[in-house]
């Protein structure tokens, strides 16, 4: 009876796994089916490299939004990656275990906060500060970078902590026995041993940043133009889809699905890189 029960549970888990995979596959096929024909018809060069987005005139150049998405993502990584890695090192190596066990779950809870809440804080608090002390409209590339940098902290910190804690204790003890200081041990031994996992956390954080929608819509200003300053308003690819999909028809709708194809490919590449980095860490063990 127990054997039959175990087989039944195993089949349930297998069916659950395949259902999740099937849902992902169907979503991917739907996006590709809707977007790829437009890219083929319109031309991938004209679509990705043209600077004019005017659906009423049949112009669907997404280059300003590609540039905006890249800058917002890189800016978010400049804010979130150093803070996240430094926080992970501090919590793993320099505070008591009891404190780390309390603080880590609290940081991970940040991931459960809806993005609209971060966007609201950005509109009410951050944008006025930028407008007052730095100039510009306030709703800008800089605001988007800061908000997204905060939003990716749970991903970077949580995975980095797990990677650092996976380093065998004997590595630290051997380094300290040879006369290295605690900081030298962390910098030259622990960090290097956990490097692949930390890189994976940064890549996953980048995927979260480039795929974020609501917070970017609220704080970035949504101007379709190539930014020349961190204080300029911008519109990301995700924001463009969310803002215009509700009323888009015909070629306009197909162009938005084609934008989704571009995002899908980018995020799949980032996730693949993260998986490769994690496998590299496992192989080293």
Give the pLDDT score at 38: 93
* Sign of the torsion angle spanned by Cα atoms 95, 111, 273, 146: negative
pLDDT digits 0-9 by tens, 187-242: 899 999 998 889 989 988 998 898 899 999 999 999 999 999 999 999 999 999 99
3-state secondary structure of 53: strand
Give the per-residue pLDDT at 217: 94
Question: What is the rounded (10 degree) CA torsion for 197, 199, 204, 206?
Answer: 170
CA separation for the pair 72, 28 (Å, rounded): 25
Task: Examine the pLDDT at 86 and tell me if it is beyond 90.
Answer: yes
Question: What domains are defined for the chain?
Answer: 2-284 (1.10.3720.10)
Q: What is the pLDDT of residue 269?
A: 86
Are 150 and 214 in contact by the 8 Å Cβ rule? The answer is no
Evaluate whether 144 touches 75 at the Cβ level (below 8 Å).
Answer: yes
Comparing 97 with 274, which gets the higher pLDDT?
Answer: 97
Q: What pLDDT, on the 0 to 100 scale, is given for residue 271?
A: 79
Q: Is residue 2 predicted with pLDDT exceeding 60?
A: no
Q: Give the pLDDT confidence score for residue 1 in this predicted structure.
A: 44
> Which of 139, 141, 145 has its CA nearest to residue 120?
139
Summarised one tens digit per residue, pLDDT across range 61-84 is 999 999 999 999 999 999 999 999
Under 8 Å between Cβ of 268 and 207: no
Check pLDDT > 60 for residue 91.
yes
Spell out the alpha helix ranges (H) of the chain: 2-42, 44-49, 63-93, 97-108, 115-121, 127-133, 141-151, 153-165, 169-177, 182-185, 191-193, 195-211, 214-219, 237-244, 250-284
Residues linked to residue 54 through DSSP beta bridges, in sequence order: 59
pLDDT at 250 over 50: yes
Share of the chain above pLDDT 90, in %: 56
pLDDT per residue as tens digits for the range 142-192: 999 999 999 999 999 999 999 999 899 899 889 989 888 888 999 899 999
Q: What is the pLDDT of residue 281?
A: 56
* Cα–Cα dist 13/77, whole Å: 36
Nearest to 92 by CA among 243, 194, 20, 241: 194
3-class SS of residue 224 = coil
Q: pLDDT value at position 63?
A: 94
Nearest to 188 by CA among 198, 176, 202: 176
Q: Mean of the pLDDT values across residues 3-28?
A: 79
Are residues 189 and 93 in contact, defined by beta-carbon separation less than 8 angstroms? no
In this predicted structure, what is the pLDDT of residue 283? 57
284 pLDDT above the threshold of 60 = no
Question: What's the mean pLDDT when you consider all of the chain?
Answer: 89
């Amino acid at each position: 009876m127990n054997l039959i029960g175990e087989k039944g549970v195993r089949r349930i888990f297998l069916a659950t796994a395949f259902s999740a995979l099937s849902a992902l596959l169907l979503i991917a096929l739907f996006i590709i089916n809707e977007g790829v024909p437009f890219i083929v018809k319109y031309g991938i060069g004209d679509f990705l490299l043209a600077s004019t987005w005017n659906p009423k005139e049949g112009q669907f150049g997404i280059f300003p939004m590609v540039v905006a998405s890249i800058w917002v993502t890189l800016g978010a990584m400049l804010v979130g990656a150093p803070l996240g890695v430094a926080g992970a090192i501090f919590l793993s190596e320099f505070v008591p275990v009891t404190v780390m066990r309390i603080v880590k779950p609290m940081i991970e809870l940040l991931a459960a906060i809806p993005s609209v809440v971060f966007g609201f804080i950005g509109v009410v608090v951050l944008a006025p500060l930028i407008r007052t002390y730095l100039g510009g409209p306030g709703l800008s590339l800089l605001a988007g970078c800061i908000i997204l940098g905060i939003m990716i902290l749970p991903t970077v910190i949580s995975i980095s902590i797990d990677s650092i804690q996976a380093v065998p204790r004997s590595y630290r003890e051997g380094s300290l026995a040879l006369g290295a200081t605690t900081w030298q041990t962390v910098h030259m031994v622990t960090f290097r041993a956990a490097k692949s996992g930390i890189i994976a956390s940064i890549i996953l954080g980048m995927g979260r940043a480039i795929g974020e929608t609501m917070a970017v819509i609220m704080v970035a200003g949504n101007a379709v133009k190539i930014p020349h300053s961190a204080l300029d308003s911008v519109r990301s690819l995700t924001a463009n889809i969310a803002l215009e999909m509700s009323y888009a028809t015909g070629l306009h709708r197909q162009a938005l699905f084609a934008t989704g194809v571009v995002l899908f490919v980018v995020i799949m590449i980032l996730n693949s890189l993260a998986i490769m980095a994690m496998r590299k860490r496992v192989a080293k063990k």
